[in-house]
Structure 1
Amino acid sequence: MKSTLIVLFTIIFLPAYAIDKLVTYPAPKGALLNSDFTIKVRQHNSQWNEIPSHLVKVQKVEGLKRFVEDASMCYFDFCGEVEISVTYNKGAVNTAKVRPLANNIKHEIDGNTITFKLNQPRNISVEVNDDIFHNLHLFANPMEEYIPNTKDPDLIYFGAGIHEIANGELKIPSGKTVYVAGGAVLKGRLVVDSAENVKILGRGMICHTVKHGIKISNSKNVLVEGLFATQCSTGGSENVTIRNVKSISYYGWGDGMNVFASNNVLHDGVFCRNSDDCTTVYATRLGYEGGCKNITMQNSVLWADVAHPIFIGIHGNAEEPEIIENLNYVNIDILDHRESQIDYQGCLAINAGDNNLIKKVRFEDIRIENFREGQLFNLRIFYNPKYCKAPGKGIEDVLFKNITYTGGNAELSMIVGYNEERKVKNIRFENLKINGLVISDDMPDKPGFYKTADIARIFIGEHVDNITFVR
């Protein structure tokens, strides 16, 4: 009995740092790196570990011109708590931000070095002197649970190093697991096409020079977890999970995580910084046919250098109308939205075209930071002949719950129907907070002749029924 008590005492009273872990990955020889920052990480005042700063590219729009800028990216795995040191090698650090701001990560500046701590996995941006185009994208991953068995005949293994994919594309057969280890860089796309029971796992990256790095097409039961790529799309597929995947694109049509004509798709803990829409849900499009249902994005960070953070509904089959339904966007931070074209604005945008009926959409616990240019909300049934053959059929049953915006750049939001047969209806705003002010139908001091939407700077157009604002 005495020895048993001693064992129990040891287990219960072990110090917290005994279970802390930190895994870093060196860059392979020949990897594309960026020297703007020197990044180090450690646990409990132990020795610093320097980690490589990989080169990634982002798109910058100035006026009518677009430019490609060099930014930085680093990653590691941990549990417990880590201290991070980021040294800016290009000059003095006058100001620094660690975003999303909602994480409330406290930082200190000493000369040209920024230090802060993390006590849980985060996908964050470190920005010096308000420069968002040459920032550091820091991906602090959870520890991996999957341990690859390199003798497994169903495993396709890429260890640390640079791997040239033959013909620029690896098509993954059914039943296979692809593992891309930390410190591995693939030069080629990963494609799941007409397959099922496929996994793509690891901590490595697909080089930023590879456009549309991960593509899931006409497949079932697919899991993608942990990797970096320019894009990760899903079309004509069912039962797809995309978890802790990071997407940064810089070229035209660089949508992050499209969903076309698919059902039961989950994006969990993803990071999207894109040169077009961060995430979309469309019906028939690009050879994929059918509507969409049961699509969820949660616990994620979105940054649209161009177009929308979230965009739903413009594409479908006008000859055989389709339904897009049961969409959920929960616990999301939107870091930026920059779009000059009025037709393509909206952090949270539902634009019904091609006779699509869009219903049962939930936006909940979404924090929108002070984006550069665009609208908060854009709900429209419209006919855009550039992309559509007909206006949408309707938008209905949409919930905006616990949406916050802090900033001064939001333009006039829009909610507009098309005609009496093609309406926007049953839209509920619950605890909408703009710069600290809760917008509700019973808010004090609102003049009786004001629409509640006027306070939120939302234009309510024709053919719109049953919009409510509640606390």
Structure 2
Amino acid sequence: MNYTVFAEQKEIPIYETNVYPAPYNERIPQEYTIFSIKGRITVRILSEKVIREVCIRPISAGIEFAFTEHEIIFTLDRPLNLSVEINECADNNLLIFTTPKSRGYDLSVYQKVLRYPRGIHEVGKKVIRGNHVAVIFEEGAYVHGKFEFNNCTDLLVCGNGIISGEKYESDEYRIGMDFLGCQDVTVQDVTLVDGRFWCMRVFGCDRVNIDHVKVIGQRLNTDGCDICGSRDVTVENFFARVWDDGLVVKGMDDSDKKNIHVVFPNSTSKMDEAFEKLGDVEHIRFKNCVLWNDTARPMEIGVSLRSDRVHNVVFEDVDVIHSTTGYPVMGIHHGDRAEVSDITFQNIRVEDIPCAQLFDIRMTDSVWSTDRRKGHIRDIYFKNIDLIGKPGLSMLPGPSRIEGFDRDHQVSNIVFENIRLLGKYAVNLKECDINCTKFVENVKVILNAAPEEVKRVSHVEAKLKISPFLWESADGSLPGKGGRYEGHVEMTLKNVSKETAEGETWLQVSPANSVRKQERIRYHLSPGESLRKGFDIELMPGKYFLKAQAREPGFVSDWKYLVLALPLSETENIDEMPSYEIYNYYGNRSEPVQIGICQNHLVIKSKLLRSADMTLYTALPVPVKQQEILFSVEETDFGEAQAVIQGEDGPELAPQIGNPQEITYVFENEPKVKKIVQNKFKKVESGIGRISFSDLGLPDKTEHFWMELQADTDDTTKYRYPFTLFHSVNPQNDAHMFAHVRMIQAEREAGL
């Protein structure tokens, strides 16, 4: 462990669990400590690593500190949940959880008291039924297991103990703390770590108060707290660092008895009584929460909204300290029958959210939508939203979006009040970077801040223009050994506001490392002034996303989606085949690979094939339908590049999609190729591999096909995604990043 902690000179135990941060190649240790406080105390942290910088989040807590090379000192005067981060790296952090001292419980009112004292306990699955029950996890208790509270009334769950799911893999242990059909519930101070699936669920319950609970999750679907079909629920002083959604509201009904995310495979849980108590979702309040999402959404209403009403839900005084995957920070996603109304997000502070959407309200079908009848979304309020950003803002959030379902199922009456972006107020949708697409009515942006506080967002619009990319060859013949296209991109900036605008922009090209880093452009533009800059670029065949990127609010970015075909022609000399690089997000590059056609065979030649196997994937082209994916690469998975889909009028940014798995699973947006054929090139001393066109699964006289090439090298096995020529992240199943191969003698221009 890196840290030692003292509170008022007393050493506090440090615990460790795993987290799974972007770019998702490995689990790493997360150190945390838990103690109760009363009054003002001094906290001293010793670090084995040399400390150069310190950031204590949430920034709004206003913790003043002093530090030396190996020590951080600060004071606390109230219970808080904090992340202490050193050297501008969240991976080096320490989580500090503090709770109120001396809760003063009157245990005499409970008919049954179950106590877990200090020490390690293994309970497996513990099912508690009945009324007037108290379960106490004393400070220092470390309990391996899951707790199901089934049809309980007057229930107390409390204490500074820890419940861990680290030993369990079976679906029977899904949900670390599960409240099914309960009433009058109080949950205080407990910590849940390494759960199997959702960390905490409130399902068909009434009158529930959750206070000072902390969750840390690193597995798939580890939501923080899911409120399902329940009423009168308050979640306050809550902390979640999870690998899925943070705070979630869902509506459920009897159809979910067949939903494997609700009734788990092989589960022995008796849920009939809880299903009987499902109903409208009303009077839900999340207050004073701190959220950290390693993937997915911090605050989410949806996707499942199968109740008649979802009404009066409030997210208030919430700090989002990290959300690094491009997902919406505040979202309502609806494809079922519920009437969603009177939803409030207020006093929300947002820190590190590269490429995420601040707001996303959308009605659309997904894999979780089952109702044929669709509902509505109306009367939504966003008030006092503050994008703090620094320290830690690497890029501006992506554009937000509001979209209804159809003319009869619209999104209406949305108010944005006091929206502040990096210290500047936005007074219209454009300055908020919010796109109202279709079936949306009555959206307002209001500013009620005092005039002396108002610093307006200055507005700079970027435009990209791409000249045709030409196929390069070494000697002018086509195709050539160079294997690259040459092109020119022109960026124009214009200040369309009434105030001087200044900042920095650059041309971002994805996939990462496809071009050398572009120089950054400093701009200082008077109202109406423009600036123009050109970039000469060389690119291999493949698919690319180009974007004018910036950090300043009010910067209206422009982007282009570029497809460069892979031209292949017959050759008699294998050495003259065009040469291509295989590289990935981390900058790993392999030996070049030459690809061509010789004697009706597809041929590859590379020194790499002398030491590693390679896999060739081919498929027949299919038309890409509306809403199907055109582009997503590895860095899309953690918010550094946006995905592109086929829109009604051409390519458009993919909404609510920051994860390639979500593209294919949740929204089923993958182009439906008939078959992906795999062929293996075994390593061979000659470094040359040949495959006949019949083995590629292609008909005779094929002029077009899709192709991907994967290299199975030892130095890339530690990464989450394979090492592929055209940057496919799942070539066995998904073909959208495959190169479009054209069987021609020569080609001088690529279609844009």
Q: TM-score range by the shorter chain?
A: 0.7 to 0.9
The residue aligned with 2:283 is 294
The residue aligned with 2:190 is 227
Indicate yes or no: 2:38 matched with 1:51.
no
Indicate yes or no: 2:136 matched with 1:173.
no
Distance in 1 separating the partners of 2:309 and 2:25: 35
AA of the residue aligned to 1:311: E
Gaps of 5+ in 2: 169-173, 194-198, 257-261, 264-274, 390-394, 448-752
Distance in 2 separating the partners of 1:382 and 1:207: 36
What SS does structure 2 have at the residue aligned with 1:102? helix
Gaps of 5+ in 1: 1-34, 43-47, 441-451
The residue aligned with 2:85 is 127
1:97-176 paired onto structure 2 within 5 Å: 97-147=55-105, 154-165=112-123, 167-176=124-133
- Residues 370 and 398 from structure 1, CA distance in 2 versus in 1: closer, same or farther, beyond 3 angstroms? same
Indicate yes or no: 2:32 matched with 1:73.
yes
Distance in 2 separating the partners of 1:151 and 1:241: 18
Indicate yes or no: 2:6 matched with 1:40.
yes
The residue aligned with 1:11 is none
**8 Å Cα contact 2:411-2:439 kept in structure 1:** yes
Does 222-231 or 131-140 show the bigger shift? Answer: 131-140
- Residues 456 and 411 from structure 1, CA distance in 2 versus in 1: closer, same or farther, beyond 3 angstroms? same
Number of aligned residues: 410
1:285-434 paired onto structure 2 within 5 Å: 285=256, 286=262, 288=275, 289-317=278-306, 322-340=308-326, 345-385=327-367, 387-390=369-372, 392-407=374-389, 408-434=395-421
AA of the residue aligned to 1:431: N
User: 1:235 Cα shift?
Assistant: 0.7
The residue aligned with 2:44 is 85
Q: 1:184 aligns with which of 135, 141, 157?
A: 141
Distance in 2 separating the partners of 1:386 and 1:173: 33
AA of the residue aligned to 1:368: V
Distance in 2 separating the partners of 1:330 and 1:168: 34
Distance in 2 separating the partners of 1:37 and 1:304: 23
Q: Percent identity?
A: 23
What SS does structure 2 have at the residue aligned with 1:455? helix
- 1:229-249 CA-to-partner distances (Å, cap 9, x unmatched) read 132211111111111100110
**8 Å Cα contact 2:235-2:287 kept in structure 1:** yes
**8 Å Cα contact 1:220-1:238 kept in structure 2:** yes
- 1:33-71 CA-to-partner distances (Å, cap 9, x unmatched) read xx22011111xxxxx111111012212131xx4532211
- Residues 459 and 129 from structure 1, CA distance in 2 versus in 1: closer, same or farther, beyond 3 angstroms? same
User: 1:133 Cα shift?
Assistant: 2.8
**8 Å Cα contact 2:401-2:434 kept in structure 1:** yes
What SS does structure 2 have at the residue aligned with 1:294? strand
User: 1:78 Cα shift?
Assistant: 1.2
Distance in 2 separating the partners of 1:268 and 1:386: 28
- 1:320-340 CA-to-partner distances (Å, cap 9, x unmatched) read x62111101111111121225
**8 Å Cα contact 1:80-1:119 kept in structure 2:** yes
If the length of structure 2 is used for normalisation, what is the TM-score? Answer: 0.53
Distance in 2 separating the partners of 1:140 and 1:386: 37
RMSD, matched Cα = 1.9
- 1:171-214 CA-to-partner distances (Å, cap 9, x unmatched) read 25321101111011111112111111111011111125166221
AA of the residue aligned to 2:322: D
- Residues 356 and 268 from structure 1, CA distance in 2 versus in 1: closer, same or farther, beyond 3 angstroms? same
**8 Å Cα contact 2:42-2:75 kept in structure 1:** yes
AA of the residue aligned to 1:364: Q
- Residues 171 and 373 from structure 1, CA distance in 2 versus in 1: closer, same or farther, beyond 3 angstroms? farther
Q: 1:246 aligns with which of 211, 214, 228?
A: 214
**8 Å Cα contact 2:111-2:132 kept in structure 1:** no
Indicate yes or no: 2:203 matched with 1:203.
no
- Residues 322 and 150 from structure 1, CA distance in 2 versus in 1: closer, same or farther, beyond 3 angstroms? closer
Larger Rg: 2
The residue aligned with 2:176 is 213
If the length of structure 1 is used for normalisation, what is the TM-score? Answer: 0.83
Distance in 1 separating the partners of 2:109 and 2:369: 49
Distance in 2 separating the partners of 1:160 and 1:97: 32
Does 129-138 or 108-117 show the bigger shift? Answer: 129-138
User: 1:130 Cα shift?
Assistant: 2.3
**8 Å Cα contact 2:118-2:139 kept in structure 1:** yes
Q: 2:248 aligns with which of 254, 258, 280?
A: 280
User: 1:148 Cα shift?
Assistant: 6.8
**8 Å Cα contact 2:127-2:150 kept in structure 1:** no
